[in-house]
Amino acid sequence: MNPSRYNMYVPLKKEDTYLLYNTLTGALFFVDKELREAIQKDPSSIPEDLLKDFKKEWVVLDDGVDETEMLSFMRDEMRYNSPWLQFLIMTTKACNLACPYCYEKKESMTSMNEASCGRTQKFIENLTKKNRPTTLELLMYGGEPLLNVEPMFQLIAHFTGYCDTHSLEFKVGIITNGTLITEGLISDLEKYPVDVVQVTLDGPAEMHNTKRVYTNGRGTYEDIVEGLHLLRNSALRPKIRINVDELNKDAVPLLLDDLKERGLADISIYFGIVRAFSPVCESYAPSCMQDSHIGEVIPHLWRTALQKGFDVPLKPMRNLVGCGMQSNSSYTIDPEGRVYKCVTSVGCEDQCIGVISEEGDIPVWNPVYYRWMSRNPLEVPGCKTCVFFPVCGGGCPMIAYARHGTYERGGCFETKSVLKDQLMLYVEQTYPEKFR
Protein backbone atom coordinates (compact mmCIF):
# COMPACT_ATOMS: atom_id res chain seq x y z
CA MET A 1 0.00 0.00 0.00
CA ASN A 2 1.05 3.57 -0.69
CA PRO A 3 -0.11 7.04 0.33
CA SER A 4 -1.72 9.16 -2.34
CA ARG A 5 0.48 11.83 -3.86
CA TYR A 6 -2.55 14.13 -3.53
CA ASN A 7 -2.61 14.11 0.28
CA MET A 8 -2.07 17.57 1.72
CA TYR A 9 -1.38 18.20 5.41
CA VAL A 10 -2.20 21.55 7.00
CA PRO A 11 -0.89 22.09 10.57
CA LEU A 12 -3.53 23.08 13.10
CA LYS A 13 -3.04 25.29 16.14
CA LYS A 14 -3.17 22.28 18.47
CA GLU A 15 0.31 20.82 18.66
CA ASP A 16 1.02 17.80 16.42
CA THR A 17 -2.43 17.80 14.80
CA TYR A 18 -3.16 18.25 11.12
CA LEU A 19 -5.93 18.64 8.63
CA LEU A 20 -5.51 15.95 5.99
CA TYR A 21 -7.06 16.92 2.67
CA ASN A 22 -6.98 14.74 -0.43
CA THR A 23 -7.19 17.09 -3.39
CA LEU A 24 -8.43 14.36 -5.74
CA THR A 25 -11.39 13.07 -3.72
CA GLY A 26 -12.01 16.10 -1.50
CA ALA A 27 -11.79 13.91 1.62
CA LEU A 28 -11.05 15.67 4.91
CA PHE A 29 -9.65 14.04 8.05
CA PHE A 30 -8.25 15.37 11.31
CA VAL A 31 -5.10 13.39 12.13
CA ASP A 32 -2.34 13.49 14.70
CA LYS A 33 1.40 13.24 14.08
CA GLU A 34 1.50 9.48 14.68
CA LEU A 35 -1.27 8.77 12.18
CA ARG A 36 0.27 11.10 9.62
CA GLU A 37 3.56 9.22 9.83
CA ALA A 38 1.74 5.89 9.49
CA ILE A 39 -0.02 7.08 6.33
CA GLN A 40 3.23 8.32 4.85
CA LYS A 41 5.56 5.50 5.87
CA ASP A 42 3.64 2.38 6.88
CA PRO A 43 -0.06 2.30 5.86
CA SER A 44 -0.33 -1.36 6.86
CA SER A 45 0.02 -0.31 10.52
CA ILE A 46 -3.16 1.75 10.43
CA PRO A 47 -6.13 0.23 12.35
CA GLU A 48 -8.36 -1.75 9.99
CA ASP A 49 -11.54 0.32 10.34
CA LEU A 50 -9.66 3.57 9.71
CA LEU A 51 -7.64 2.03 6.87
CA LYS A 52 -10.92 1.06 5.20
CA ASP A 53 -12.03 4.69 5.27
CA PHE A 54 -8.67 5.87 3.94
CA LYS A 55 -8.84 3.41 1.05
CA LYS A 56 -12.40 4.44 0.24
CA GLU A 57 -11.29 8.06 -0.02
CA TRP A 58 -8.04 7.21 -1.88
CA VAL A 59 -5.87 8.55 0.92
CA VAL A 60 -4.16 5.15 0.83
CA LEU A 61 -3.92 3.11 -2.37
CA ASP A 62 -3.27 -0.55 -3.01
CA ASP A 63 -0.03 -1.57 -4.68
CA GLY A 64 -0.16 -1.32 -8.46
CA VAL A 65 -2.56 1.62 -8.57
CA ASP A 66 -1.26 4.34 -10.91
CA GLU A 67 -2.71 7.68 -9.89
CA THR A 68 -1.63 9.36 -13.11
CA GLU A 69 -3.62 6.84 -15.13
CA MET A 70 -6.63 7.29 -12.85
CA LEU A 71 -6.43 11.04 -13.11
CA SER A 72 -5.99 10.97 -16.87
CA PHE A 73 -9.09 8.80 -17.31
CA MET A 74 -11.19 10.92 -14.96
CA ARG A 75 -10.04 14.10 -16.69
CA ASP A 76 -10.89 12.76 -20.15
CA GLU A 77 -14.30 11.65 -18.94
CA MET A 78 -15.03 15.13 -17.63
CA ARG A 79 -13.82 16.73 -20.86
CA TYR A 80 -15.74 14.53 -23.28
CA ASN A 81 -18.68 13.11 -21.34
CA SER A 82 -20.02 16.07 -19.39
CA PRO A 83 -23.73 16.15 -18.52
CA TRP A 84 -23.59 19.94 -19.03
CA LEU A 85 -23.47 21.94 -22.25
CA GLN A 86 -22.60 25.60 -21.74
CA PHE A 87 -22.49 28.56 -24.09
CA LEU A 88 -21.23 32.01 -23.21
CA ILE A 89 -23.04 34.31 -25.63
CA MET A 90 -21.96 37.87 -26.35
CA THR A 91 -25.10 39.66 -27.46
CA THR A 92 -23.00 42.76 -28.17
CA LYS A 93 -19.46 44.04 -27.95
CA ALA A 94 -20.76 47.51 -27.17
CA CYS A 95 -20.59 48.79 -23.62
CA ASN A 96 -21.81 51.87 -21.82
CA LEU A 97 -18.74 51.88 -19.55
CA ALA A 98 -15.08 52.66 -20.14
CA CYS A 99 -13.19 50.53 -17.60
CA PRO A 100 -9.39 50.93 -17.92
CA TYR A 101 -8.57 47.23 -17.53
CA CYS A 102 -11.15 45.86 -20.00
CA TYR A 103 -9.58 43.16 -22.17
CA GLU A 104 -12.05 43.56 -25.04
CA LYS A 105 -11.04 45.38 -28.20
CA LYS A 106 -12.55 48.82 -28.53
CA GLU A 107 -12.64 49.28 -32.29
CA SER A 108 -15.40 46.73 -32.99
CA MET A 109 -18.76 47.43 -31.36
CA THR A 110 -20.91 44.97 -33.30
CA SER A 111 -24.13 43.50 -31.91
CA MET A 112 -25.94 40.23 -32.53
CA ASN A 113 -28.69 40.63 -35.15
CA GLU A 114 -31.54 38.40 -36.28
CA ALA A 115 -29.35 36.44 -38.71
CA SER A 116 -26.44 35.76 -36.32
CA CYS A 117 -28.91 34.99 -33.52
CA GLY A 118 -30.59 32.41 -35.76
CA ARG A 119 -27.26 30.78 -36.63
CA THR A 120 -26.31 30.73 -32.95
CA GLN A 121 -29.63 29.08 -32.09
CA LYS A 122 -29.07 26.35 -34.69
CA PHE A 123 -25.49 25.79 -33.49
CA ILE A 124 -26.66 25.27 -29.91
CA GLU A 125 -29.40 22.88 -31.05
CA ASN A 126 -26.96 20.88 -33.19
CA LEU A 127 -24.44 20.50 -30.37
CA THR A 128 -27.20 19.60 -27.93
CA LYS A 129 -28.26 16.75 -30.23
CA LYS A 130 -24.64 15.65 -30.64
CA ASN A 131 -23.52 15.85 -26.98
CA ARG A 132 -26.83 14.75 -25.44
CA PRO A 133 -26.42 16.66 -22.15
CA THR A 134 -28.89 16.64 -19.29
CA THR A 135 -28.41 20.36 -18.61
CA LEU A 136 -28.11 23.27 -21.03
CA GLU A 137 -26.76 26.57 -19.73
CA LEU A 138 -26.60 29.94 -21.46
CA LEU A 139 -24.45 32.72 -19.98
CA MET A 140 -25.28 36.14 -21.42
CA TYR A 141 -22.28 38.40 -21.68
CA GLY A 142 -20.86 41.39 -23.53
CA GLY A 143 -19.78 44.14 -23.84
CA GLU A 144 -22.86 44.88 -21.87
CA PRO A 145 -25.54 42.30 -22.76
CA LEU A 146 -28.39 44.50 -21.56
CA LEU A 147 -27.64 46.97 -24.37
CA ASN A 148 -29.00 44.36 -26.80
CA VAL A 149 -31.72 42.38 -25.04
CA GLU A 150 -33.78 41.32 -28.07
CA PRO A 151 -31.53 38.40 -29.12
CA MET A 152 -30.97 37.55 -25.45
CA PHE A 153 -34.68 37.10 -24.81
CA GLN A 154 -35.15 35.35 -28.17
CA LEU A 155 -32.58 32.71 -27.23
CA ILE A 156 -33.83 32.37 -23.66
CA ALA A 157 -37.46 32.01 -24.74
CA HIS A 158 -36.63 29.53 -27.49
CA PHE A 159 -34.52 27.25 -25.32
CA THR A 160 -36.96 27.41 -22.43
CA GLY A 161 -39.44 25.68 -24.73
CA TYR A 162 -36.82 23.50 -26.41
CA CYS A 163 -35.51 22.12 -23.12
CA ASP A 164 -39.02 21.51 -21.83
CA THR A 165 -39.84 19.54 -24.97
CA HIS A 166 -36.60 17.53 -24.80
CA SER A 167 -36.65 17.00 -21.00
CA LEU A 168 -33.48 18.99 -20.37
CA GLU A 169 -32.71 21.15 -17.37
CA PHE A 170 -32.23 24.75 -18.53
CA LYS A 171 -30.23 27.41 -16.71
CA VAL A 172 -29.52 31.03 -17.61
CA GLY A 173 -26.94 33.37 -16.13
CA ILE A 174 -26.35 37.02 -16.94
CA ILE A 175 -23.05 38.82 -16.40
CA THR A 176 -23.76 42.54 -16.45
CA ASN A 177 -22.17 45.74 -15.22
CA GLY A 178 -25.43 46.32 -13.32
CA THR A 179 -26.18 49.85 -14.54
CA LEU A 180 -29.18 48.98 -16.72
CA ILE A 181 -31.21 46.87 -14.30
CA THR A 182 -34.83 48.02 -13.99
CA GLU A 183 -38.03 46.67 -12.49
CA GLY A 184 -39.35 46.03 -15.99
CA LEU A 185 -36.27 44.04 -17.00
CA ILE A 186 -36.46 41.97 -13.81
CA SER A 187 -40.15 41.28 -14.42
CA ASP A 188 -39.30 39.96 -17.90
CA LEU A 189 -36.40 37.83 -16.64
CA GLU A 190 -38.53 36.27 -13.90
CA LYS A 191 -40.61 34.55 -16.58
CA TYR A 192 -37.64 32.33 -17.43
CA PRO A 193 -35.22 30.05 -15.55
CA VAL A 194 -32.64 32.77 -14.94
CA ASP A 195 -30.42 31.43 -12.18
CA VAL A 196 -27.85 34.15 -11.44
CA VAL A 197 -27.32 37.79 -12.31
CA GLN A 198 -23.73 38.82 -11.60
CA VAL A 199 -22.56 42.40 -11.27
CA THR A 200 -19.13 43.83 -10.49
CA LEU A 201 -17.87 46.39 -7.99
CA ASP A 202 -14.35 47.80 -7.78
CA GLY A 203 -14.17 49.00 -4.21
CA PRO A 204 -15.98 51.66 -2.18
CA ALA A 205 -17.79 54.40 -4.11
CA GLU A 206 -14.93 56.88 -4.29
CA MET A 207 -12.51 54.31 -5.71
CA HIS A 208 -15.04 52.40 -7.82
CA ASN A 209 -16.06 55.65 -9.52
CA THR A 210 -12.52 56.22 -10.78
CA LYS A 211 -12.52 52.93 -12.71
CA ARG A 212 -16.00 51.65 -13.56
CA VAL A 213 -17.24 54.79 -15.21
CA TYR A 214 -19.67 55.64 -17.97
CA THR A 215 -18.21 56.66 -21.33
CA ASN A 216 -18.78 60.28 -20.28
CA GLY A 217 -16.63 59.73 -17.17
CA ARG A 218 -19.45 59.70 -14.61
CA GLY A 219 -19.24 57.14 -11.82
CA THR A 220 -21.55 54.11 -11.67
CA TYR A 221 -21.51 53.03 -8.02
CA GLU A 222 -24.92 54.30 -6.93
CA ASP A 223 -26.63 53.03 -10.09
CA ILE A 224 -25.18 49.54 -9.55
CA VAL A 225 -26.17 49.47 -5.87
CA GLU A 226 -29.70 50.51 -6.84
CA GLY A 227 -29.79 47.60 -9.30
CA LEU A 228 -28.59 45.22 -6.58
CA HIS A 229 -31.48 46.25 -4.35
CA LEU A 230 -33.93 45.55 -7.19
CA LEU A 231 -32.37 42.13 -7.76
CA ARG A 232 -32.30 41.28 -4.07
CA ASN A 233 -36.03 41.96 -3.80
CA SER A 234 -36.86 39.77 -6.80
CA ALA A 235 -36.98 36.05 -7.56
CA LEU A 236 -33.57 36.32 -9.22
CA ARG A 237 -30.33 35.50 -7.43
CA PRO A 238 -27.78 38.33 -7.49
CA LYS A 239 -24.06 37.74 -7.13
CA ILE A 240 -21.31 40.32 -6.67
CA ARG A 241 -17.84 39.99 -8.13
CA ILE A 242 -15.44 42.32 -6.34
CA ASN A 243 -12.43 43.11 -8.48
CA VAL A 244 -9.17 43.21 -6.55
CA ASP A 245 -5.95 44.81 -7.75
CA GLU A 246 -2.96 46.60 -6.27
CA LEU A 247 -4.85 49.89 -6.16
CA ASN A 248 -7.95 48.84 -4.21
CA LYS A 249 -6.88 45.80 -2.15
CA ASP A 250 -6.71 47.77 1.11
CA ALA A 251 -10.03 49.55 0.49
CA VAL A 252 -12.20 46.46 -0.10
CA PRO A 253 -13.21 46.23 3.62
CA LEU A 254 -14.72 49.72 3.27
CA LEU A 255 -16.83 48.44 0.38
CA LEU A 256 -18.01 45.53 2.51
CA ASP A 257 -18.97 47.93 5.30
CA ASP A 258 -21.01 50.02 2.87
CA LEU A 259 -22.80 47.01 1.38
CA LYS A 260 -23.63 45.74 4.86
CA GLU A 261 -24.92 49.13 5.94
CA ARG A 262 -27.18 49.18 2.88
CA GLY A 263 -28.62 45.74 3.71
CA LEU A 264 -26.82 43.81 0.98
CA ALA A 265 -24.66 41.50 3.12
CA ASP A 266 -26.84 38.50 2.28
CA ILE A 267 -25.77 38.58 -1.39
CA SER A 268 -23.10 36.03 -2.30
CA ILE A 269 -19.75 37.63 -3.14
CA TYR A 270 -16.45 36.50 -4.56
CA PHE A 271 -13.14 38.23 -5.17
CA GLY A 272 -11.83 38.37 -8.73
CA ILE A 273 -8.18 39.00 -9.50
CA VAL A 274 -7.63 41.68 -12.17
CA ARG A 275 -5.06 40.38 -14.67
CA ALA A 276 -3.64 41.59 -17.98
CA PHE A 277 -4.79 38.79 -20.30
CA SER A 278 -4.38 40.51 -23.66
CA PRO A 279 -2.50 43.40 -25.30
CA VAL A 280 -5.67 45.50 -25.00
CA CYS A 281 -5.28 45.78 -21.23
CA GLU A 282 -1.47 45.82 -21.00
CA SER A 283 -1.55 49.51 -20.08
CA TYR A 284 -3.26 48.54 -16.83
CA ALA A 285 -0.80 45.73 -16.07
CA PRO A 286 1.24 47.68 -13.45
CA SER A 287 -1.93 48.01 -11.36
CA CYS A 288 -2.86 44.32 -11.61
CA MET A 289 -2.51 42.12 -8.54
CA GLN A 290 1.00 40.75 -8.24
CA ASP A 291 1.10 36.96 -7.96
CA SER A 292 3.32 37.20 -4.90
CA HIS A 293 0.61 39.20 -3.08
CA ILE A 294 -2.37 36.92 -3.79
CA GLY A 295 -1.63 34.46 -0.98
CA GLU A 296 -1.73 37.26 1.57
CA VAL A 297 -4.48 39.49 0.18
CA ILE A 298 -7.26 37.07 -0.80
CA PRO A 299 -7.39 34.98 2.43
CA HIS A 300 -7.41 38.22 4.43
CA LEU A 301 -10.38 39.46 2.41
CA TRP A 302 -12.20 36.13 2.82
CA ARG A 303 -11.82 36.26 6.58
CA THR A 304 -12.84 39.92 6.69
CA ALA A 305 -15.97 39.22 4.63
CA LEU A 306 -16.95 36.28 6.83
CA GLN A 307 -16.50 38.37 9.97
CA LYS A 308 -18.79 41.01 8.50
CA GLY A 309 -21.50 38.41 7.80
CA PHE A 310 -21.14 37.89 4.06
CA ASP A 311 -21.74 34.62 2.23
CA VAL A 312 -18.39 33.56 0.76
CA PRO A 313 -18.35 30.09 -0.87
CA LEU A 314 -15.11 28.49 0.34
CA LYS A 315 -15.47 24.74 -0.06
CA PRO A 316 -12.62 23.59 -2.34
CA MET A 317 -13.92 21.88 -5.46
CA ARG A 318 -12.28 19.23 -7.60
CA ASN A 319 -11.31 20.70 -10.94
CA LEU A 320 -9.48 18.22 -13.13
CA VAL A 321 -10.08 20.20 -16.31
CA GLY A 322 -8.95 23.62 -15.11
CA CYS A 323 -11.63 25.42 -17.09
CA GLY A 324 -14.82 24.16 -18.73
CA MET A 325 -13.62 25.68 -21.98
CA GLN A 326 -11.03 22.87 -22.18
CA SER A 327 -13.89 20.43 -22.77
CA ASN A 328 -16.14 19.81 -25.77
CA SER A 329 -19.07 21.14 -23.78
CA SER A 330 -18.25 24.86 -23.43
CA TYR A 331 -18.01 27.54 -26.11
CA THR A 332 -17.95 31.32 -26.42
CA ILE A 333 -19.94 32.88 -29.29
CA ASP A 334 -19.46 36.48 -30.37
CA PRO A 335 -22.16 38.70 -31.94
CA GLU A 336 -21.17 37.76 -35.51
CA GLY A 337 -21.25 34.01 -34.87
CA ARG A 338 -17.51 33.52 -34.51
CA VAL A 339 -16.68 30.89 -31.91
CA TYR A 340 -13.87 30.96 -29.38
CA LYS A 341 -12.93 29.03 -26.33
CA CYS A 342 -12.02 31.63 -23.69
CA VAL A 343 -13.99 34.88 -23.61
CA THR A 344 -10.75 36.80 -23.06
CA SER A 345 -9.65 35.84 -26.58
CA VAL A 346 -12.70 37.28 -28.35
CA GLY A 347 -11.57 39.68 -31.07
CA CYS A 348 -8.17 38.00 -31.45
CA GLU A 349 -8.47 36.38 -34.87
CA ASP A 350 -5.70 33.88 -34.17
CA GLN A 351 -7.82 32.54 -31.28
CA CYS A 352 -11.05 32.07 -33.26
CA ILE A 353 -11.78 28.33 -33.46
CA GLY A 354 -14.48 28.53 -36.15
CA VAL A 355 -17.38 30.44 -37.69
CA ILE A 356 -21.00 29.25 -37.49
CA SER A 357 -22.53 28.53 -40.90
CA GLU A 358 -26.11 29.20 -42.01
CA GLU A 359 -26.89 25.58 -41.12
CA GLY A 360 -25.62 26.05 -37.56
CA ASP A 361 -22.44 24.02 -38.02
CA ILE A 362 -18.74 24.81 -38.11
CA PRO A 363 -17.61 23.30 -41.44
CA VAL A 364 -13.91 23.60 -40.63
CA TRP A 365 -12.43 23.97 -37.18
CA ASN A 366 -9.41 26.26 -37.17
CA PRO A 367 -6.07 24.74 -36.08
CA VAL A 368 -6.14 26.66 -32.78
CA TYR A 369 -9.13 24.54 -31.75
CA TYR A 370 -7.04 21.37 -31.92
CA ARG A 371 -4.12 23.05 -30.16
CA TRP A 372 -6.49 24.09 -27.39
CA MET A 373 -8.21 20.73 -27.07
CA SER A 374 -4.98 18.70 -27.22
CA ARG A 375 -3.51 20.57 -24.27
CA ASN A 376 -2.55 18.01 -21.65
CA PRO A 377 -1.10 19.41 -18.42
CA LEU A 378 -0.37 15.87 -17.24
CA GLU A 379 2.49 15.91 -19.75
CA VAL A 380 3.93 19.03 -18.12
CA PRO A 381 6.48 17.79 -15.53
CA GLY A 382 5.61 20.44 -12.96
CA CYS A 383 1.88 19.67 -13.20
CA LYS A 384 1.98 15.86 -13.35
CA THR A 385 3.20 15.39 -9.79
CA CYS A 386 1.77 18.56 -8.26
CA VAL A 387 -0.45 18.02 -5.20
CA PHE A 388 -2.63 20.91 -6.37
CA PHE A 389 -3.42 19.43 -9.79
CA PRO A 390 -6.85 17.96 -8.93
CA VAL A 391 -8.15 21.37 -7.81
CA CYS A 392 -6.26 23.30 -10.49
CA GLY A 393 -6.42 21.07 -13.58
CA GLY A 394 -3.21 22.52 -14.94
CA GLY A 395 -4.47 26.05 -14.55
CA CYS A 396 -5.68 28.53 -17.13
CA PRO A 397 -4.65 27.96 -20.78
CA MET A 398 -4.81 31.70 -21.45
CA ILE A 399 -2.48 32.42 -18.53
CA ALA A 400 -0.08 29.82 -19.93
CA TYR A 401 -0.36 31.40 -23.38
CA ALA A 402 0.13 34.94 -22.06
CA ARG A 403 3.19 33.95 -20.03
CA HIS A 404 4.85 31.45 -22.34
CA GLY A 405 3.32 31.85 -25.82
CA THR A 406 1.98 28.30 -25.72
CA TYR A 407 -0.88 26.37 -24.13
CA GLU A 408 1.48 23.48 -23.35
CA ARG A 409 2.66 24.88 -20.04
CA GLY A 410 1.13 25.17 -16.60
CA GLY A 411 -1.19 28.14 -16.19
CA CYS A 412 -0.87 28.44 -12.42
CA PHE A 413 -3.15 30.96 -10.79
CA GLU A 414 -4.18 31.64 -7.20
CA THR A 415 -4.91 28.02 -6.16
CA LYS A 416 -1.38 27.34 -4.91
CA SER A 417 -1.27 30.58 -2.98
CA VAL A 418 -4.59 30.33 -1.19
CA LEU A 419 -5.70 26.69 -0.88
CA LYS A 420 -4.33 26.06 2.60
CA ASP A 421 -5.92 29.22 3.97
CA GLN A 422 -9.13 28.42 2.09
CA LEU A 423 -9.23 24.98 3.70
CA MET A 424 -8.69 26.39 7.16
CA LEU A 425 -11.44 28.97 6.76
CA TYR A 426 -13.79 26.33 5.38
CA VAL A 427 -13.26 23.83 8.21
CA GLU A 428 -13.45 26.58 10.84
CA GLN A 429 -16.89 27.46 9.47
CA THR A 430 -17.99 23.84 8.98
CA TYR A 431 -16.52 22.18 12.08
CA PRO A 432 -16.31 24.96 14.70
CA GLU A 433 -16.24 22.42 17.53
CA LYS A 434 -12.77 21.34 16.37
CA PHE A 435 -11.38 24.79 17.08
CA ARG A 436 -12.81 25.53 20.50
pLDDT in tens, the chain (436 residues): 999 999 999 999 888 999 999 999 999 999 999 999 999 999 999 999 999 999 999 999 999 999 999 999 999 999 999 999 999 999 999 999 998 877 665 557 899 999 999 999 999 999 999 999 999 999 999 999 999 999 999 999 999 999 999 999 999 999 999 999 999 999 999 999 999 999 999 999 999 999 999 999 999 999 999 999 999 999 999 999 999 999 999 999 999 999 999 999 999 999 999 876 655 456 677 888 888 899 999 999 999 999 999 999 999 999 999 888 999 999 999 999 999 999 989 989 999 999 999 999 999 999 999 999 999 999 998 898 899 999 999 999 988 988 899 989 998 888 888 999 999 999 999 988 888 7
Backbone Cα Rg of the chain: 23
Handedness of CA 32, 33, 37, 38 (dihedral sign): negative
Q: What does the alpha-carbon distance between residue 129 and residue 360 come to, in Å, rounded to a whole number?
A: 12
Region 82-307: CATH code: 3.20.20.70
> For the residues of 70-85, what is the DSSP string, one character each?
HHHHHHHHHHHS-SEE
Residues in Cβ contact with 228 at an 8 Å cutoff, skipping those fewer than 6 apart: 178, 199, 238, 240, 264, 267
Look up the pTM and report it: 0.94
Closest CA to 298 of 248, 247, 249, 241: 249
Residue 20's DSSP bridge partners are: 9, 29
Going edge to edge, which strands form the sheet with 17-22?
Answer: 7-11, 17-22, 28-32
Residue spans of the domains in the chain: they are: 2-65, 82-307
